[in-house]
Chain A
């Protein structure tokens, strides 16, 4: 299997889907040149009618994509940073997420919203560093965040083929990750987590680049005799609780590694589900390794103080090993 970069895998998924289905179009700011290299070159093959540079009008072009999707196109919208969904919040939450329901199922909105460069690429300050992937899932929008090139390609293809709006978060810290990608056409189903490392002591559920942080952490934990099992959630919604519970059944301990705000966040949802459906499996309190809920500061030492990392995952994973139910502190273990 060829080894390619994550960004290339996303490009290949878009190109293959556009070749397969003439109703797929790509629109957003600077998509013809493609600042991250993901959409670069698509205009040469598919023409300016299907690859559209938009004015700086996130609300307007998101609404346009919704209208076009209702009429049968499959628009793929790009936001260059994760702050831009805030600008188009009405279109995403009130329109894309609700119109099908409000019309009693009369309409379908088969659109994809790619939030690229999501998270803290480093040194970009509070308005370019959020990693808000749980936000739209809270309102019922399907939301995915792959960690590997193979999943980036396979999940984006599934998103394009899905008949609902799907939000695809492209983690800034994954864009240059290299990995093997299967040859030929394949689509990875939404809503299936994957065990990416086996271990019997503690389950670490991770998503996006935190999968890689968790993998680094697991090597350090090995030296301490803690064998971590790592589950890549891959999707926020649909959420594969089944695979998580099966892993917790083997380990009895759970850490969730989530580079988003901890308050009302993804880790909280995973923790609530495991506590609710698998309480009897747990031998220690569930630990969240997530961002404290503050704006991301610019200063490098401040920034690194709040962002989850492999070291934070290590610290988090030690806690359930030391704790004994029911005396666990249950506190955030990361920072």
Chain B
């Protein structure tokens, strides 16, 4: 058979390359546009851009499948878009509009769509991974085959609750794929200044399960590693720790450059990582193999930009929440005697 001689990577590229590229482009364009809107003062607060890390969310969530339950982080836009959440209610959430996924009550750091299997985006490092372990527990208890994907970063890798959760997940044999997005910095602290080990994945051994570190700048590698990790989890009935080495091109949060007197990253570091840019790499491979013509790639990029712009228009035109909304969704079971605001 001819197919048997084709390298596995080429087969992956042909089968999934275009859709993976589209998702990565959407993340990049969404967060780039959101950054502009924040800088111009059109949206409030802060955003933590996912730009540079696109291969991780897209590769992991494509590999984990649509059924996986996902614990997301403060840098979560990429996870949602990789999962297929819609740009319109996401952008509306950044605007604090009633049409946002969380009715404007969550904001950038907490955008969630439970119907997409997103368990919440958490601004406390390590917290969502610990909650994802609980979701995996519930799935195991109800004999479902769903797994949980727990995203965290190199910063949260040193958070106590995460270690407790890895131990619990191992002791109770829970189907959790821990994914460390090592983007090299915990705010300003270099990963190797905060971590006792070179590879976060090596810590899995301390909890009695397997781990692996991979190139987080290559979506096909991340995808393949995720599929392999899930196979390992099924045979071992144990969690798995996948570390993706990646890089955020922007600051920890979007306005960082404006307030930091001294940059904490070497000048040439970003350009070194940019040379491994996951989008440029996948694009180049698709073109080199002739799987997609240049014009189609250009059109795709245009489509993605239009989709983001459509989300911006939607968000701008959506009505703000009424003031009464500040007092709803506090409790699921309402009874007399709850605090003043509750209706």
Contacts and interface: CB of A to CB of B under 8 A. Distances in A.
How big is the B interface, by class? Answer: 35 or more
Contacts of B164: 55, 57, 59-61
B314 to A, nearest CB: 17
B169 to A, nearest CB: 9
27 contacts: A49-B141, A55-B167, A55-B171, A57-B168, A59-B130, A59-B161, A61-B164, A66-B134, A67-B71, A67-B134, A70-B119, A70-B131, A71-B134, A94-B124, A95-B127, A100-B332, A102-B105, A103-B120, A104-B101, A105-B328, A105-B329, A106-B102, A106-B114, A110-B332, A163-B332, A164-B331, A190-B335
A29 B85 CA distance: 39
Contacts of A61: 164, 168
Contacts of B171: 55
Nearest to A94: B124
Interface in B96-118: 100-106, 110, 112-115
B337 interface: yes
Interface stretch (A201-209, A218-226, A231-239): A231-239
Contacts of B266: none
B165 A100 contact: no
A64 interface: yes
Interface in A74-97: 90-91, 94-95
Interface of B is mostly: mixed
Nearest to A88: B161
B106 A238 contact: no
A164 B335 CA distance: 11
Interface of A: 25, 49, 52, 54-55, 57, 59-61, 63-73, 90-91, 94-95, 99-110, 140, 142, 162-164, 189-191, 235, 237-242
Given A60-B164, A102-B105, A25 B141 contact: yes
Nearest to A137: B339
Given A57-B165, A94-B124, A103-B329, 18 more contacts: A59-B164, A61-B168, A66-B134, A67-B133, A67-B135, A68-B134, A70-B119, A71-B134, A73-B141, A99-B120, A102-B106, A103-B120, A104-B102, A104-B329, A106-B115, A107-B120, A189-B335, A190-B335
Nearest to B101: A104
A90 B168 CA distance: 18
Contacts of A106: 101-102, 112-115
B132 interface: yes
Contacts of B114: 70, 103, 106-107
B65 interface: no
| Residue from the set B114, B164, B171 with the largest chain A CB neighbour count within 10 Å | B164
A238 B160 contact: no
Contacts of A101: 105, 329-330
Contacts of B141: 25, 49, 68, 73
Nearest to A56: B164
A105 B69 CA distance: 18
Contact of B337 (A65, A105, A239): A239
B104 A104 contact: yes
Nearest to B330: A101
Contacts, number: 167
Contacts of A71: 69, 134-135, 138-139, 142
Most buried by B among A90, A163, A191: A90
Contacts of A108: 332
A70 B135 CA distance: 7
Contacts of B335: 189-191, 238
B299 interface: no
Nearest to A238: B337
Q: What 7 A-B pairs are tightest by C-beta distance, nearest first?
A: A67-B134, A60-B164, A238-B337, A63-B130, A105-B329, A71-B138, A104-B103
A81 to B, nearest CB: 18
A237 B134 contact: no
A104 B118 CA distance: 14
B337 A73 contact: no
A129 to B, nearest CB: 25
B4 interface: no
Nearest to A106: B114
B332 A63 contact: no
A103 B102 contact: yes
Contacts of B330: 100-101, 140
A105 B110 CA distance: 12
